[in-house]
Structure 1
Amino acid sequence: MLNWLPEAIQPQITSEILVQALYDTLYMVAWSLLFSTIIGILLGVILVVTRPGHIMENRFIYSAINPIINVIRSVPFIILLVALIPVTRFINGVAIGATAAIIPLVVYAGPYIARLVENSLLEIDSGIIEAAEAMGATKWQIIFRFLVPEAMSSLILTMTTATIGLVGATAMAGAIGAGGIGDVAIAYGYQRYDDGTTLLMVVLLVLIVQGLQSLGNVASKRVRRR
């Protein structure tokens, strides 16, 4: 397949397996990122505006959501994968495969994104909120016309970090047969003692992560300049 590599590290997988692995990884990342972003941004905004002293202070909501996010984030993803197998099987019908892995990936990434969004929004100067209130802006206008736009550059980097985290999580999901690059690395690389395939999967993950980080950095800089 890659004839220019030394024979000792020549991958023993077909191009079809490689293409399917890439597709499964991108499929899991795309869908889990979509759902976890919606959940994460919503929870992150709620955490910020309902915290004590903010524009929608609500101690009950803040005290309810904050510990839940902390609990979920404290559980290692591999344990979360196993713990959610009954839930995944109930929702999806099966507990293995790329589609089934989306459920634990969303549960894992949603609270993670929420905390990153919270940190980005808390970095905004309180003077911006005071200026918005002085102009007569409503609370919803302050959120969507001042807070979010002001934090957009940071939020882009936040989503970049979350996406990279999901790429790593999908590789880990391969340990329970979710498919993707991680599954190929384990099933064809580790279990068959094929060092070439394992190395190839590592290189692919590195390239994907580097590409995502570069795109995120460029997008963040462009937004910051505006």
Structure 2
Amino acid sequence: MSAMQADIWQATWETIYMTIVSAVIAGILGLLTGLVLVVTQPGGIAEDRPFYSILDKIVNLLRSIPFIILLAVISPLTSFLVGTTVGTTAALVPLVIGIFPFYARQVQLALQEVGPGVIEAAQSMGLSNQEIIFRVYLREGLADIIRVSTLTIISLIGLTTMAGAVGAGGLGNVAISIGYARFQNDVTFVCMIILLVFVFIVQFIGDRLADRFIKF
């Protein structure tokens, strides 16, 4: 086991790298997409039924593709963007595409919790759509956005392990290629514990932030 310490540390940093970078990119894309879904939906402040219908179907389609299948389907795109389909950087492409539709839908649901009465009051005060987005939707829905962000990051950690199983590196790769394939159960166990620690840390931080901003 001691001989594997360097590999496990390297895999840990690879998992952190994949999680953070893909979370930032997917977070931006997902937040923007979720906002657009909310404001263009029927009854939204910038209602556009045809556009909403198309975007809604795209989000549903991307969410429906199993991640392992997605890895194979978009491999040409991954190769075009980063020059390879193997490694931690290559894994960022499918990770972003795999998680941002999920996050977009979660953001949409979170923002829909903002009461229509609040939106109507903002409109009666003469606020523009942009002001309503920043001063009402994002402000009132901040705590819920933090909660769904926490859920999304935890799901993303799980996806990095699946990506690792097909050559992306990280703890998933070590757990499968060494722990499972070589029957070194202690390696698999250590990888699992590290991943659980990541999940607990993310959940703890998310809960504290949500509680802090619940009355923001």
TM-score, normalised by the number of residues in structure 2: 0.98
Matched, 1:68 2:35: no
- Partner amino acid, structure 1, of 2:43: G
Residue 199 of structure 1: CA displacement? 0.8
CA distance, structure 1, for counterparts of residue 2 and residue 178 of structure 2: 8
- The answer to whether the 8 A contact 1:13-1:188 is kept is no
Q: Which moved more, 1:81-90 or 1:149-158?
A: 81-90
Tell me which of 136, 142, 159 is aligned to 1:146: 136
The equivalences for 1:116-135 within 5 A come to: 116-135=106-125
* Aligned mate of 1:167, from 157, 160, 164: 157
Q: Which structure would you say has the larger Rg?
A: 1
Q: Which runs of 5+ in 1 are unaligned?
A: 1-10
| Amino acid across the alignment from 1:146 | V
Matched, 1:209 2:199: yes
The residue type equivalent to 2:108 in the other structure is E
Out of 43, 64, 84, the position equivalent to 2:33 is 43
Distance 1:53 1:89 in 2: 41
CA RMSD of aligned residues (A): 1.0
Count of residues in Structure 1 that have an aligned counterpart in Structure 2: 216
Q: Distance in 2 between matches of 1:90 and 1:23?
A: 25
Cα distance change, pair 117–95 in 1 and its aligned pair in 2 (3 A): same
Counterpart for residue 177 of structure 1:
167
The code of the aligned residue for 1:49 comes to V
Q: Please give the per-residue CA displacement for 1:140-165, whole angstroms capped at 9, x wherever unaligned.
A: 10011111110000000111111101
Residue 196 of structure 1 corresponds to 186
Q: How much does 1:14 deviate?
A: 2.3
2:172 alignment partner AA: G
Deviation at 1:15, TM superposition (A): 1.9
Q: Distance in 2 between matches of 1:13 and 1:219?
A: 39
Q: Distance in 1 between matches of 2:209 and 2:42?
A: 33
Kept after mapping to 2: 8 A contact 1:40/1:117: yes
Specify every segment of 5 or more residues in structure 2 that has no aligned partner in the other structure, as ranges: none
C-alpha change, 1:13 and 1:50, in structure 2 (3 Å) is farther
> Contact between 1:12 and 1:194, CA under 8 Å: does it hold in 2?
no
Residue identity in the other structure for 1:190: Y
Cα distance in 2, alignment partners of residues 188 and 208 from structure 1:
21
Aligned residues: percent identity?
40
SS in 1 for 2:118: helix
- What is residue 213 of structure 2 aligned with on the other side? 223
CA distance in 2, matches of 1:43, 1:224: 23
The 2-side partners of 1:182 and 1:195 are apart by 14
Aligned-residue offset at 1:92 = 0.8
Structure 2: which amino acid aligns with 1:15?
Answer: Q
Task: Say which of 89, 94, 103 aligns to 2:84.
Answer: 94
Runs ≥4 residues deviating over 6 A: none
Q: TM-score, normalised by structure 1?
A: 0.93
Distance in 1 of aligned mates of 2:183 and 2:2: 10
